[in-house]
Amino acid sequence: MLVSGACGVMKVMTTVPVALAASVAMLASSNLFAQTTRSEEVEQEKAAKAAQVASPVTSPDDSLFGRVASLFMPAPPALELSFGGFRPGAGLAPGVAYVMPVGPDALWTTKAAWSVLNFKLAESTLAFPRLAANRLDIHARVRWENAPQLAFFGLGAATTRGDEAVYGLRSSEARAGADMRLVRWLRFGGALGYLAVTSDDGSGTLPSVGGLFTTASAPGLGSNPSWLHSTAYIGVDTRESPGYTQSGGLYRIAFHDYADRDGRFSFERTEIDLRQFVPLVHDNWIVAMQARANLADSRDDQVIPYFMLPSVGGGDSLRGFSQYRFTDRNTVQLRGELRWTPSSVLDMALFTDRGAVAPRWQGLDLHDLKTAWGIGARLHGANFTALRVEVARGDEGWRYHIAQSVSF
């Protein structure tokens, strides 16, 4: 089922192989190693020292955001502030984390956070990030999250804002995985874990999902399933950094298998994420593009719970609509931004987002997409985004978003 889902997306987005091949070809042609004689090294060191003495210039990023980053990411062992880490919809989510070295190669991070919408999170991770000459990362994690106010509007693209209901979700997870880099731009890996989920009526002033929907319109309503969750991925990543980039691209496909212990809620899910960043006009303008698809398919006609289905809507997908606005088994998103960099720490952007959902991947109609557009500003460093503020317009009115991460 996973293979058939992946093939389906490839039929929808036929440009994937071309983009992938072009990226690999360009990167393969670059020199990965440069040899320098000892005399040349000495001369280079002298020139570098002379330049430092003659002109001690510090970029704005080093003087401002470098210092801010050192406050949030001090050298371990240390107690540091953290933001985010929740599922979408949590709002501003401050927290604290304690980072402690374990031996020469490992870091142990324990984190707790509480969002403004009463979402709660506790997480502990043991990571070995620099094994095999910095080519192998191994990690293990335990995590607990309580999300009391998640939105559900029903299945399909024909739902209305008046259908909105809320539910609560508590999840516990234990997993271990590995990530491998054969070369800098080629990554692959996988993970195996146990995930247990408990759903309830949630909190807030809106009606609960159980009050507006049935098991026919909200599959898995009232269920508390648990899964053995396995995942594998492969990707080509030529971006400067996942947290902020002005060039390069990402071409990634991931496969997820959720095996229910009781044999009622087993399903598979395929994710494809394609991104390209093209600098223009002296690198002061950047065209950013993303195409993303999620395909879910149940095993032996089992049920996929509504709270595990993919959706579009919110600050990281269809920005002119509410979070989780459209939900179904299959989703597709097409996003574009024209970014202007007036300074080294500020980007402005005009953007447009388009998306669709369908019960079958064959029903994803690229000619009938929900559309949104807007404008945004981002404060960033060389490899991270500190603050993102956006205003977007869709068919259902204006939305604004504030986040501590890059959109894509």
Residue 289's closest CA among 19, 39, 28?
19
Which of 38-42, 108-112, 212-216, 396-400 is least confident?
38-42
Q: Which residue has the tokens 């400067």?
A: 240
Is residue 209 predicted with pLDDT exceeding 80?
Answer: yes
- The pLDDT mean for the chain works out to 85
Phi, psi (rounded to 5 degrees) for 368: -135, 70
Least confident span in 12-26, 158-172, 313-327: 12-26
Q: What is the pLDDT of residues 55-97, one digit of tens each?
A: 333 344 455 555 655 665 677 888 988 887 899 889 888 899 9
Per-residue pLDDT at 207 exceeds 90: yes
The pLDDT value given to residue 84: 79
Output the CA–CA distances (angstroms, integers) from residue 176 to 2, 136, 380, in the order listed. Answer: 22, 14, 31
* Averaged pLDDT, 247-265: 96
Q: Which amino acid is at 162?
A: G
Residue 296 · residue 306 · CB < 8 Å: no
Cα–Cα distances (Å) from 310 to 306, 328, 331, 393, in that order, read: 9, 6, 7, 22
Helix or strand run (H / E) with residue 210: helix 209-212
How far is Cα 156 from Cα 329, in angstroms, rounded to an integer? Answer: 9
Three-class SS of 370-407: EEEEEEEEEEECCCCEEEEEEEEEECCEEEEEEECCCC
What's domain 2-25+60-403's architecture?
A: Beta Barrel (2.40)
CB 271, CB 332: distance < 8 Å: no
**For residues 248-271, average pLDDT:** 96
* 372: β partners: 353
DSSP 5-71: HHHHHHHH-TTHHHHHHHHHHHHHTS-------HHHHHHHHHHHHHHHHH-----HIIIIIHHHHHH
Residue with tokens 């939305």: 399
Give pLDDT, residue 75.
76
Distance CA 145, CA 168 (A): 11
Among 44-48, 100-104, 149-153, 229-233, the minimum mean pLDDT is found in 44-48
pLDDT surpasses 50 at 21: no
**Residues 297 and 8: beta-carbon distance below 8 Å:** no
Long-range contacts of 182-187 (CB under 8 A, 24+ apart): 182/135, 183/27, 183/32, 185/23, 185/27, 185/236, 185/237, 185/238, 186/235, 186/236, 187/233, 187/234, 187/235, 187/236, 187/237
Mean pLDDT, rounded, for 285-302 = 95
DSSP tag of 74:
P
385: left (phi over 0), alpha (psi -120 to 50) or beta: beta
Q: Which helix (H) or strand (E) holds 2?
A: helix 2-12
What's the pLDDT score for residue 71?
60
| Vertex 146: Cα angle to 142 and 152 (nearest 5) | 125
Region of poorest pLDDT, from 44-53, 104-113, 126-135, 367-376: 44-53
Locate 8 and state its tokens.
């389906």
Element (H, E) at 3: helix 2-12
Coil, strand or helix at 161: helix
**Mean predicted confidence (pLDDT) in 245-271:** 96
77: preceding bond cis by omega (within 30 degrees) = yes
23 versus 353: the higher-pLDDT residue is: 353
Residue keyed to tokens 């470098």: 66
**Nearest partner of 202 among 161, 159, 164, 157, judged by Cα:** 164
Does 23 score more than 50 pLDDT?
A: no
Q: Which of 57-71, 153-167, 243-257, 338-352 has the lowest mean pLDDT?
A: 57-71
pLDDT at 5: 42
Using a 10 angstrom Cβ sphere, with 0-12 exposed, 13-18 middle and 19 or more buried, the burial of residue 271 is: buried
What is the band of 340 on the pLDDT scale with cuts at 50, 70, 90? very high
Spell out the domain ranges in the chain.
Answer: 2-25+60-403
